[in-house]
Amino acid sequence: MIIHIAGGAKIGASATIFETKHTTFAIDWGGGLAAGKQKPQYEKMKKIKHVLLTHAHSDHVGNVMELVRNSRAYFHCSMATYDLFIQTLINARYQQEDLNVFAGRAIIYNHGDSLSFAQGVYVYPVAAGHILGASSYQMMIDGISIFYTGDMCLHDQALVTGAMLPDRQVNVLMREATYVDREGVDYQTEANRFVRTIREMFDRQMKILIPALAMGRMQEVACLLYKAGVPFCIEGARDFRRIYAEHLGSDAAFLTKIPEFVSMKDREDRMASSEGAVILASSGMLLDNTFSARWANWIAPRTDGAILLVNHQDPEAVGGQIQQIQDGQCLMVNGKPTVKGCMVERFELPAHLSGSNGLALERSCTNTDSQILLSHYPSHKRALAFVQAQSDCRHRKVVTLNERIEL
Residues within the interface to Zn ion (CB under 5 A): 57, 59, 151
Q: Is 180 helix (H, G, I), strand (E, B) or coil?
A: coil
- CB nearer to Zn ion: give 198 or 353: 353
- CB nearer to Zn ion: give 62 or 236: 62
- CB nearer to Zn ion: give 232 or 240: 240
Q: CB 183 → Zn ion: shortest distance, Å? A: 19
**CA angle (285, 244, 258) in 5-degree steps:** 75
- CB nearer to Zn ion: give 153 or 293: 153
- CB nearer to Zn ion: give 59 or 348: 59
**CA angle (287, 375, 390) in 5-degree steps:** 120
Q: Which long-range contacts (CB under 8 A, 24 or more apart) does 89-98 make?
A: 89/65, 90/239, 91/239, 92/33, 94/65, 98/65, 98/68
Helix residue ranges, H only, 212-334: 217-228, 238-248, 264-272, 291-299, 318-324
Q: CB 151 → Zn ion: shortest distance, Å? A: 4
- CB nearer to Zn ion: give 83 or 151: 151
- Half-sphere exposure at residue 305, Cβ-oriented, CA atoms within 13 angstroms: 21
- CB nearer to Zn ion: give 59 or 83: 59
- CB nearer to Zn ion: give 59 or 362: 59
Q: How far apart are CA 284 and CA 319, in angstroms?
A: 8
Packing angle of the helix pair 291-299, 264-272 (nearest 10 deg) = 30
Cis peptide before 370 (omega within 30 of 0): no
Phi, psi of 124 (to 5 degrees): -120, 105
- CB nearer to Zn ion: give 80 or 307: 80
CB 49 within 8 A of CB 117: yes
Q: CB 153 → Zn ion: shortest distance, Å? A: 9
Q: How far apart are CA 203 and CA 294, in angstroms?
A: 24
Q: How far apart are CA 72 and CA 63, in angstroms?
A: 15
Q: CB 59 → Zn ion: shortest distance, Å? A: 4
Q: CB 293 → Zn ion: shortest distance, Å? A: 22
- CB nearer to Zn ion: give 11 or 342: 11
The residue nearest Zn ion at its CB is 57
Q: CB 342 → Zn ion: shortest distance, Å? A: 29
Packing angle of the helix pair 79-91, 96-104 (nearest 10 deg) = 160
> In a 10 Å sphere around its CB, with 0-12 CB exposed, 13-18 middle and 19+ buried, how is residue 121 labelled?
buried
Q: CB 381 → Zn ion: shortest distance, Å? A: 19
Q: CB 217 → Zn ion: shortest distance, Å? A: 10
Q: Which amino acid is at 139?
A: M
Q: CB 352 → Zn ion: shortest distance, Å? A: 8
Q: CB 219 → Zn ion: shortest distance, Å? A: 13
In the chain, what is the straight-line distance between the N-terminal and C-terminal CA atoms, in Å? 5
The distance of Cα 274 from the centroid of its chain, to the nearest Å, equals 37
